Amino acid sequence: MHSHIRPNQFCVLQLPSDQRRIIKLEPNTTVHLGKYGNFAANQVIGRPFYLTFEIQDTAEADGYKLRVVSATELHAENLIEEAEGDGEGEGDGNESGEGTPMRTNQTIIDSNSTQRLTWQEIEDLKKEAGGSGKAIIAKIMESHSAIDQKTAFSLAKYTLRKRKKYIKRFTIVPLDVSTLANFMLQEKDASKTMEMRDEHIGLLGCFGNVHHSGGTPLEAIPDMKPNGRYIVVDETGGLIVAAMAERMGILYPHDKDEEEEQSLAVEEQPEIPEESKDTRRQHVRPMSATNNTLTVIHAQTQPNLSLLKYFGYDTSAPDESHPLHTHLKSITWLQLVDPSRDPILATEPPVIPAEELAEMKTNKRSAYYFKRNRYQKVKSVSDEARAGEFDGLIAGTLFDPASVLKHVVPLLSGSAQVSIYSPYIEPLVQLMDYYSTGRRTAWINKKRDLESQKPAGGTLDLSSLYEEFTVNPTLLLPPTLHHARVRGWQVLPGRTHPLMTERGGAEGYLFHGTRVIPHEEAIQAAGTFRKKRKLESTSTPTNDRDVVMS
């Protein structure tokens, strides 16, 4: 999917200043990089990703102005340094201070006079000097009066700083979920994606057990329900949906098995309703897949999935060949929780017989089809969602997570995973408490009381329990809270250490649990959980009854 740079594809441009930009490479256009110059898109389209290009001062005969910088050249300094390091290693005597004394910054005096070039001269150099910026750097280094006093480390830092400023190089990186997440974090407003980092995205998907469903024909496996159906609550503008779709193999339109996906989707779609058969074009129905699907539940009338545009999927102008067209379903909370109050679901547009339809005006007819199709689409997604049996819940939400779990956990099949991301710990700590052993026990006891009170044949009303407990604590085991953080290191011979600065902000936490199906009758626990030396409140009560309600 990312074998080479394709035309009209979004990709990420990495500049020497470590700045990144998302660009769409359109054929026959020029890309401007500000002070680093510009290049023709045609000169990179079709080439592999991750190559570093240098913008040359003079073009080749056919107008090609770039040069691929080889890995050896990129690593040149480190390689030389390492080779020298090897030499030093042989004569161990040097280290005891016998040889050249170690240079320190003891004698360096802070002053502006060390650099003999004035800024005016540097400006002039920029205009004249060639060599893609290398000439300027060489000149600047040459004119530095105290360069021989610098320690090896500070010299390296100085060179790097100058290079970042002047060298005319860039690298093109494929735009995938990881690069997009980092781009949002570093270049854009990080709070828009809830400051989600790579480690969170990875854990969120793994704890949610999100994966491709295999595309197996259902008959082949006995007792097989449609599988790979996940519920997503995404308030990161589509980053979570993109990450999950990437795991499920439905994010990229250029997948090698693209045609395969399409044909599957056509097969999978339910019976085509009568009235759409006479339309001229055979549409691939949106949201029609039964397997390997993501169901997004959203709080507004339309889901905010704007980041998906970078992957070729735009909700306002759907591309029917994109796998997300059939595999991504969206539903509002109202349509899920109380469909009778939803304006679309509450009033089914009446079916008009074909003869009558034929006499209608074109615009009226298309309006009829639009309404009818919309109703059917929403209805089928809502019915399917309310029937439940989902394989997992993945959420990163502004809601109180408990209110999401209250409604969604009952829709999960047994053993399905729940995985929730939050930038802050407090909502998740609260959620952990909602599933505490104490609450579970109290729920079981109170439910038993309700059962004994209810008249024979009557239905059990659990609403009073939900009022007290918010969620049913017996449906999720074992509630777990995780925190992960990646720390970067610099690895250079003799200079290996953790990076000096890193991004602060939200830490990011993950809640994780498994949906279970409690036995109809309360079963008493057996065995002793408690170790003798551990008699604190963290131990689990020995059985469901031994916690006395105060």
Partner 1 sequence: MPSPFLTPGTRAQPDNIALLHLRRDQSIPTILRTQDDECQGYKEGKVTTTRFGVFPHSTMLDQPWGSQIAASKVDTGSRGRRPANPAKRKADELDESGTTTGVDDDTPVQKAVAAASGFLHMMYPTPEAWTLSLPHRTQVVYSPDYSYILHRLRVRAGGTIIEAGAGSGSFTHASVRAVFNGYPEEQQKKRKLGKVCSYEFHEQRAGRIREEISQHGLDGLVEVTHRDVCKDGFLLGDSETGSSPNATAVFLDLPAPWLALKHLVRKPASGGPSPLDPSSTVYICTFSPCLEQVEKTVRVMRQLSWLNIEMVEVQDHRIDVKRERVGLETEGIRGATVFPTTVEEAADKLWAEEERAKILRSGSNKNLSPEETAALKEAEIAITESMKPKTSTPMYDLGRLVHRSEPELKSHTSYLVFAILPRDWTEEDEQKCREQWPPSKLDALQDKGKSKKQLKRESKSQRMAESIAKKTAEKAAEADAEADAETS
User: Residue 267: helix, strand or coil by DSSP?
Assistant: helix
- Residue number, 131 or 438, with CB nearest to partner 1: 438
Q: How far is the CB of 527 from partner 1 (least distance, A)?
A: 4
Scanning the structure block, which residue is given the tokens 């997440």? 181
- Residue number, 261 or 342, with CB nearest to partner 1: 261
Q: 296 is written with which tokens?
A: 């997004």
Q: Please state, in angstroms and rounded to a whole number, the distance separating the CA atoms of residues 25 and 208.
A: 35
Q: How far is the CB of 204 from partner 1 (least distance, A)?
A: 8
Q: Please state, in angstroms and rounded to a whole number, the distance separating the CA atoms of residues 284 and 327.
A: 11
User: Residue 538: helix, strand or coil by DSSP?
Assistant: coil
Burial class (CB in 10 A: 0-12, 13-18, 19+), 294: buried
- Residue number, 131 or 202, with CB nearest to partner 1: 202
Q: How far is the CB of 280 from partner 1 (least distance, A)?
A: 28
Q: How far is the CB of 29 from partner 1 (least distance, A)?
A: 5
- Residue number, 444 or 462, with CB nearest to partner 1: 444
Q: Are the C-beta atoms of residues 262 and 284 closer than 8 Å to each other?
A: yes
Q: How far is the CB of 340 from partner 1 (least distance, A)?
A: 29
Alpha-helical (H) ranges within 42-116 are 71-74, 76-90
Q: Please, what sign has the CA dihedral across residues 345, 351, 357, 360? A: negative
Q: Please state, in angstroms and rounded to a whole number, the distance separating the CA atoms of residues 408 and 402.
A: 10
- Residue number, 179 or 288, with CB nearest to partner 1: 179
Q: How far is the CB of 540 from partner 1 (least distance, A)?
A: 7
Amino acid at 350: P
- Residue number, 91 or 217, with CB nearest to partner 1: 217
Angle at 437 between CA 431 and CA 438, to 5 degrees: 95
Nearest to 251 by CA among 334, 341, 319, 313: 313
Q: How far is the CB of 282 from partner 1 (least distance, A)?
A: 20
Nearest to 421 by CA among 184, 188, 201, 192: 201
Angle at 252 between CA 284 and CA 48, to 5 degrees: 140
- Residue number, 222 or 350, with CB nearest to partner 1: 222
- Residue number, 1 or 352, with CB nearest to partner 1: 1
Alpha-helical (H) ranges within 143-256 are 152-166, 177-186, 198-207, 239-248
- Residue number, 115 or 543, with CB nearest to partner 1: 543
Q: How far is the CB of 305 from partner 1 (least distance, A)?
A: 20
Rounded to the nearest angstrom, the gap between the alpha carbon of residue 422 and the centroid of all alpha carbons in its chain is 13
Q: Please state, in angstroms and rounded to a whole number, the distance separating the CA atoms of residues 402 and 430.
A: 8
Q: Are the C-beta atoms of residues 293 and 230 closer than 8 Å to each other?
A: yes
Q: Please state, in angstroms and rounded to a whole number, the distance separating the CA atoms of residues 191 and 506.
A: 9
Q: How far is the CB of 396 from partner 1 (least distance, A)?
A: 15
- Residue number, 139 or 482, with CB nearest to partner 1: 482
Q: 250 is written with which tokens?
A: 């439905």
Q: Are the C-beta atoms of residues 336 and 393 closer than 8 Å to each other?
A: no
Q: How far is the CB of 43 from partner 1 (least distance, A)?
A: 5
Beta bridge partners of 166: none
Nearest to 296 by CA among 263, 344, 332, 251: 332
Q: Please, what sign has the CA dihedral across residues 320, 322, 325, 327? A: positive
- Residue number, 381 or 510, with CB nearest to partner 1: 510
Phi and psi dihedrals of 29, rounded to 5?
A: -130, 170
- Residue number, 370 or 424, with CB nearest to partner 1: 424
**Neighbour count for residue 545 (Cβ, 10 Å):** 14
Q: How far is the CB of 332 from partner 1 (least distance, A)?
A: 28
Q: How far is the CB of 310 from partner 1 (least distance, A)?
A: 16
